[in-house]
């Protein structure tokens, strides 16, 4: 059996329930999405997807936004950040390794700022108005702006994990340290 997307997608559908797939999709959300979009991504019908989403809202895992033309759902980003910080703490990396990674991410952002003479991803996007840029350079700048935003989010989480290293220790480890 090959490892192409269609086989792995089919495997996912055979080995998970619709609710499992909805939960997997919402764990990956980085922006608010409609129930229809989530249902499509999960390969499940709208009504049962909506019921799962409502349960997740009731449980405090998701938030619902009804202010726009369509109701959207998005995760509790604080909860996601805390879980990611705990994963970083439990990953086997040392605090020194995470500190080095943090420095690398910050250096990458400084390098982009220096290269393009900008201070933010949106300022970099603003340079796309330059008519002398070819399509490849425009695409490169768009990709860098997205990566820059991603690194900014990662810096916050990694910085939190470093600051709260002792607090995030697994219970058995913190109990041993206090003995």
Q: What is the pLDDT of residues 7-47, one digit of tens each?
A: 445 544 567 899 999 999 998 887 899 999 999 999 999 99
Per-residue pLDDT, 21: 94
Residues shown for the chain: 179
Terminal CA-CA length for the chain = 53
Q: Are 53 and 61 in contact (CB under 8 A)?
A: no
Give the pLDDT confidence of 72-127 residue by residue, as tens digits. Answer: 999 888 888 888 999 999 999 999 999 999 999 999 999 999 999 999 999 999 99
Query: Hey, what are 118's tokens?
Result: 């900008």
pLDDT at 158 over 90: yes
Q: Are 101 and 116 in contact (CB under 8 A)?
A: no
Q: Which residue has the higher pLDDT, 136 or 30?
A: 136
Q: Which of 71, 76, 46, 50 is nearest to 61 (CA)?
A: 76
Domain 5-75, CATH number (from 3.40.50.300, 1.10.3810.10, 1.10.10.10, 3.40.1390.10): 1.10.10.10
* CA–CA dist 55, 2 (Å, integer): 37
Per-residue pLDDT, 10: 55
Per-residue pLDDT, 79: 84
State the number of CA atoms in the 13 A half-sphere of 22 facing the CB: 28
Structural domain boundaries in the chain: 5-75, 79-178
Q: Which residue has the higher pLDDT, 70 or 10?
A: 70
Segment (H or E) for 72: strand 72-75
pLDDT at 142 over 80: yes
Confidence of residue 71 (pLDDT cuts 50, 70, 90): very high
């Amino acid at each position: 059996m090959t490892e192409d997307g269609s086989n792995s997608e089919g495997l996912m559908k055979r080995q998970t329930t619709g609710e499992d797939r909805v939960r997997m999709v919402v764990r990956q959300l980085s922006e608010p999405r409609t129930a229809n979009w989530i249902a499509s991504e999960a390969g499940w019908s709208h009504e049962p997807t909506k019921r799962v989403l409502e349960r997740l809202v009731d449980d405090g895992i998701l938030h619902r936004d009804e202010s726009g033309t369509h109701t959207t759902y998005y995760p509790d980003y604080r909860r996601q950040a805390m879980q990611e910080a705990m994963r970083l703490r439990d990953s086997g990396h040392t605090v020194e390794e995470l500190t080095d990674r943090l420095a690398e991410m910050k250096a990458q952002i400084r390098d982009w700022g220096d290269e393009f003479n900008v201070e933010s991803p949106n300022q970099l996007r603003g340079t796309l108005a330059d008519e002398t840029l070819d399509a490849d350079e425009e695409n490169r700048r768009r990709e860098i702006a997205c990566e820059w935003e991603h690194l900014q989010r990662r810096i916050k989480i990694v910085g939190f994990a470093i600051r709260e290293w002792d607090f995030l220790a697994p219970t058995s480890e913190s109990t041993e340290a206090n003995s």
